[in-house]
């Protein structure tokens, strides 16, 4: 049964609830307003460590007891945080060695949050002691629906370079490589006289005169993710021991990739995500869609929880846009459309003081008589009617490949192009699929790909043999694959695959690349397609020699004129396409249209106007739910399949429907 249905009974709706910031008397109003807004789940205690442990080993849970009792008395469930994300000031005073350090040696002091070194035994011991007490105390509490471990691991302290971390890094390396000789081999340390005589000589990649060892940089990112994962697992073990029936999660964060979510995902009972699209940014909607697809895919397609989003403006950008009318609703449904079974906000009541006093909340400074509260309450009422949707899965025929190690290595220094980022390249390939309404999962290169008609692989710079084999076998077995430049270049230690690029994919693609010819940032490369059409590429060009591949497009001028830019190669029972440049958005769109048509990939709903996002969720009983989201600020008409019923009103729909500006339609389709 769906986790949310089991734990909450309804679509989960709520916010971070920080009543410790207010006199207790405010809680009466909180309860009344929560009920009016349809709130049924709140995250409690995320930053409450100093409140419940005011001095080392002295606990005062009275406040927390009363909050939990009050919530359960009002029928509101709790996602209880383990409170370890912001240690109390006394920890830093007594144990300054628990503070994290940057690569340049700067200590990160208390006065903000996340000021702990993930490898610090002192931090871990104090955190474990607190979590033990919490879990013991609240085991069996009727409000406890879910554990929220720590908060946004790695947001501000992902990599710590202090002496404690240095020793932990050495231990991690000793386990990974077994001997210092193996480390030297893996890190190519004969280069620039970096050869180590013993592990004790190794440091984290602290600030250095020039380019650092790429394998060291990469391993330090892996180590840092693992160090935080150890913290997570330590806490998860404690709460699971006390409350084996209560699911455990931690909130992942989008926009950067500090921790390897794919390695963490198997340890979550449910995937949770914090999402902060920027209303000022025209690219924010497909970006959010991409991240939601990634989160859903991390959980193997199971529903996930949107644990945080802003009801309106955030406070941490240079210019913080408010959400225009109906955007709170539209963007919440975007997460639902992409598989979320919970919609939560940061936070319930807007802070009066502290660094987030200008961050929006469900109850703004102006109180409940505000647009934000009204819109939030309206959404809460609606979601209450969508219980049937819980547990349904998003349909996807296409997969986009993403790998953390490869992304980290791609972003290392001293490359042919210095500004390629994983997120940007993933999005450049994802956006046209989103625009075309094509259901897409975001998966590891080692994932089972057999269920997909099409697999798109943006710049998989680091390619391990197992990943290469998986992609090759997928095509051999009849799959359609698109692979873009600077893929298959290095191994897990950032050492180049020899014999001509892209080492492991040459036969698959039927070509060989001898040299990279990157383009300056403001250049574009005209492309001539074999069918007479034109296009442009940017960022990259290269010297490709076909060895069996059919040339779909050539570079149209300059020294590469007439040489291949985009190719197609029949391989086994499938087809592998190769992009030797970054097609501009329009060209990428037309290339992917051709490829999806050849692969038999269909949009989830045909003939939609631009700016209308579409997905389909399918329930276990076969019921299909079509989501149509109008991201335009004007009304329009959308076509619908016959027999559709409006899931929000229960009314039958015709074969077209009006969709208001920023409007949402959820249509239950005939089975
Ligand atoms: C998140 C964090 C919350 C809050 C929010 C503001 O990153 O988990 O505690 O700070 O940002 O947008």
Answer for the pair 384, 75: CB distance below 8 angstroms, yes or no: no
Q: Name residue, tokens 């699971």.
A: 240
Answer for the pair 669, 614: CB distance below 8 angstroms, yes or no: no
CB of 308 closer than 6 angstroms to any ligand 1 atom: yes
Q: What percent of the chain is modeled with pLDDT above 90?
A: 98
The mean per-residue pLDDT over the stretch 273-290 comes to 98
Active site residue 152: yes
Q: According to DSSP H, which parts of 139-258 are helical?
A: 163-177, 180-187, 214-242
Residue-level pLDDT at 346 = 98
Residue-level pLDDT at 194 = 98
**DSSP character for 414?**
S
Residue 257 scores a pLDDT above 90: no
Residue-level pLDDT at 282 = 95
Banded pLDDT at 329 (limits 50, 70, 90):
very high
User: How far is the C-alpha of 239 from the C-alpha of 250, rounded, in Å?
Assistant: 13
- Nearest-5° angle of CA 233, CA 239, CA 245? 115
Length of the chain: 671
Contacts of 238 (CB under 8 A, 6+ apart): 128, 131, 132, 135
Mean pLDDT of the chain: 97
Could you tell me the two tokens for 411?
Answer: 């972003």
Q: How does pLDDT run across 153-195, given as a tens digit for each residue? A: 999 899 999 999 999 999 999 999 999 999 999 999 999 999 9
Task: Tell me which of 53, 235, 308, 397 is the catalytic residue.
Answer: 308
Active site residue 308: yes
CB of 256 closer than 6 angstroms to any ligand 1 atom: no
Could you tell me the two tokens for 507?
Answer: 């036969």
The mean per-residue pLDDT over the stretch 375-398 comes to 97
What is the signed CA dihedral for 84, 90, 94, 97, rounded to 10 degrees?
Answer: 40
Residue-level pLDDT at 670 = 85
Contacts of 206 (CB under 8 A, 6+ apart): 103, 104, 105, 161
Residue-level pLDDT at 302 = 98
Residue-level pLDDT at 88 = 98
Nearest-10 crossing angle of helices 180-187, 163-177? 90
Residue-level pLDDT at 1 = 73
Contacts of 211 (CB under 8 A, 6+ apart): 413, 414
The mean per-residue pLDDT over the stretch 361-374 comes to 98
Task: Phi first, then psi: give them for residue 400, nearest 5 degrees.
Answer: -110, 135
Could you tell me the two tokens for 76?
Answer: 């509101």
**Atom of ligand 1 minimally distant from the CA of 276:** 12
Could you tell me the two tokens for 665?
Answer: 């339609």
The mean per-residue pLDDT over the stretch 209-227 comes to 98
Q: What is the pTM of this model?
A: 0.98
Provide CATH code, domain 398-599.
3.40.50.880
The mean per-residue pLDDT over the stretch 202-228 comes to 98
Q: What percent of the chain is modeled with pLDDT above 70?
A: 100
Among protein residues, the one whose CA lies closest to atom 11 of ligand 1: 346
User: How far is the C-alpha of 77 from the C-alpha of 79, rounded, in Å?
Assistant: 7
CB of 274 closer than 6 angstroms to any ligand 1 atom: yes
The mean per-residue pLDDT over the stretch 599-622 comes to 96
The total of other beta-carbon atoms located within 10 Å of residue 203's CB is 15
Residue-level pLDDT at 54 = 98
Residue-level pLDDT at 126 = 98
Contacts of 79 (CB under 8 A, 6+ apart): 41, 42, 43, 44, 145, 146, 147, 148, 249, 307, 344
Residue-level pLDDT at 61 = 97
Q: Which CATH number fits domain 612-668: 3.40.720.10, 2.40.10.10, 1.25.40.10, 2.60.40.1180?
A: 2.60.40.1180
CB of 435 closer than 6 angstroms to any ligand 1 atom: no
Alpha carbons within 13 angstroms on the beta-carbon side of residue 371 total: 11
The strand pairing partners of 348, in sequence order, are: none
CA–centroid distance, residue 217 to ligand 1 (Å):
28
CB of 278 closer than 6 angstroms to any ligand 1 atom: no
- In sign, the C-alpha dihedral spanning 176, 182, 188, 191 is positive
Contacts of 66 (CB under 8 A, 6+ apart): 24
Sheet holding 525-529, edge to edge: 440-443, 398-401, 454-457, 480-484, 574-579, 564-571, 550-555, 525-529, 534-538, 582-583
Residue-level pLDDT at 496 = 98
Task: Tell me which of 152, 382, 464, 613 is the catalytic residue.
Answer: 152
User: How far is the C-alpha of 25 from the C-alpha of 83, rounded, in Å?
Assistant: 23
Banded pLDDT at 256 (limits 50, 70, 90):
low
Which sequence spans correspond to the domains of the chain?
398-599, 612-668
Residue 304 scores a pLDDT above 90: yes
The total of other beta-carbon atoms located within 10 Å of residue 600's CB is 10
Burial class (CB in 10 A: 0-12, 13-18, 19+), 104: exposed
């Amino acid at each position: 049964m769906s986790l949310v249905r089991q734990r909450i009974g309804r679509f989960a709706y709520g916010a971070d609830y920080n009543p410790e910031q207010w006199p207790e008397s405010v809680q009466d109003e909180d309860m009344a307003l929560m009920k009016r807004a349809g709130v049924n789940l709140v995250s409690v205690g995320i930053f409450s460590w100093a409140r419940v442990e005011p001095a080392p080993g002295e606990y005062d849970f009275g406040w927390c007891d009363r909050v939990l009792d009050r919530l359960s008395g009002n029928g509101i469930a709790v996602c209880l945080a383990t409170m370890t994300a912001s240690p109390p000031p006394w920890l830093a005073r007594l144990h300054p060695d628990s503070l994290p350090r940057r690569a340049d040696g700067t200590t990160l002091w208390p006065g903000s949050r996340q000021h702990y070194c993930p490898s610090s035994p002192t931090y871990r011991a104090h955190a474990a002691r607190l979590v033990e007490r919490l879990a013991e105390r609240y085991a069996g509490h009727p409000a406890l629906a879910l554990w929220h471990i720590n908060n946004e691991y790695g947001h501000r302290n992902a990599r710590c370079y202090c002496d404690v971390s240095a020793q932990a890094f050495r231990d991690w390396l000793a386990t990974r490589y077994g001997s210092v000789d193996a480390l030297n081999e893996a890190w190519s340390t004969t280069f620039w006289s970096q050869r180590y005589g013993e592990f004790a000589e190794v440091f984290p990649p602290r600030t250095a005169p020039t380019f650092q060892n790429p394998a060291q940089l990469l391993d330090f990112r892996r180590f840092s993710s693992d160090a935080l994962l150890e913290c997570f697992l330590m806490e998860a073990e404690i709460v699971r021991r006390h409350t084996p029936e209560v699911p455990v999660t931690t909130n992942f964060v989008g926009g950067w990739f500090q921790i390897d979510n794919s390695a963490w995902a198997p340890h979550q009972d449910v995937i949770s995500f914090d999402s902060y699209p920027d209303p000022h940014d025209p690219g924010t909607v497909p970006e959010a869609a991409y991240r939601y697809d990634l989160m859903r895919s991390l959980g193997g397609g199971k529903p996930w929880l949107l644990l945080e989003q802003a009801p309106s403006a955030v406070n941490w950008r240079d210019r913080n846009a408010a959400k225009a009318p109906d955007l709170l609703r539209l963007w919440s449904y975007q997460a639902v459309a992409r598989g979320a079974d919970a919609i939560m906000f940061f936070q319930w009541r807007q802070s009066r003081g502290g660094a987030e006093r200008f961050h929006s909340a469900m109850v703004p400074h102006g109180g409940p008589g505000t647009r934000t509260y009204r819109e939030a309450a309206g959404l809460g009422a609606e979601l209450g009617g969508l219980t049937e949707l819980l547990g349904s899965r998003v349909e996807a025929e296409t997969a986009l490949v993403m790998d953390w190690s490869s992304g980290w290595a791609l972003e290392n220094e001293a490359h042919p192009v210095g500004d390629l980022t994983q997120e940007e390249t993933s999005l450049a390939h994802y956006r046209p699929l989103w625009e075309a309404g094509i259901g897409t999962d975001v998966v590891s290169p080692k994932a089972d790909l057999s269920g997909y008609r099409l697999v798109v692989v943006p710049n998989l710079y680091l390619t391990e043999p197992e990943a290469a084999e998986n992609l090759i076998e997928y095509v051999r077995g009849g799959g359609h694959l698109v692979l873009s430049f600077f893929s298959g270049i290095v191994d897990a230690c950032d050492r180049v695959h020899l014999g001509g690029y892209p080492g492991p994919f040459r036969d698959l693609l039927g070509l060989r690349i001898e040299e990279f010819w990157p383009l300056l940032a403001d250049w574009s490369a005209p492309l001539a397609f074999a069918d007479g059409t034109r296009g442009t590429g940017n960022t990259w060009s290269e010297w490709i020699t076909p060895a069996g591949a059919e040339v779909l497009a050539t570079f149209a001028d300059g020294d590469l004129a007439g040489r291949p830019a985009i190719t197609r190669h029949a391989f086994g029972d499938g087809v592998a396409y190769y992009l030797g440049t970054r097609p501009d958005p329009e060209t990428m769109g037309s290339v992917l249209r051709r490829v999806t048509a050849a692969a038999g990939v269909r949009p989830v709903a045909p003939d939609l106007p631009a700016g209308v996002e579409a997905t389909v969720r399918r329930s276990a009983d076969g019921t299909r739910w079509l989501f149509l989201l109008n991201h335009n600020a004007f009304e329009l008409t959308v076509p619908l399949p016959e027999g559709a019923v409006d899931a929000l009103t229960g009314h039958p729909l015709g074969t077209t429907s009006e969709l208001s500006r920023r409007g949402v339609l959820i249509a239950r389709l005939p089975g």
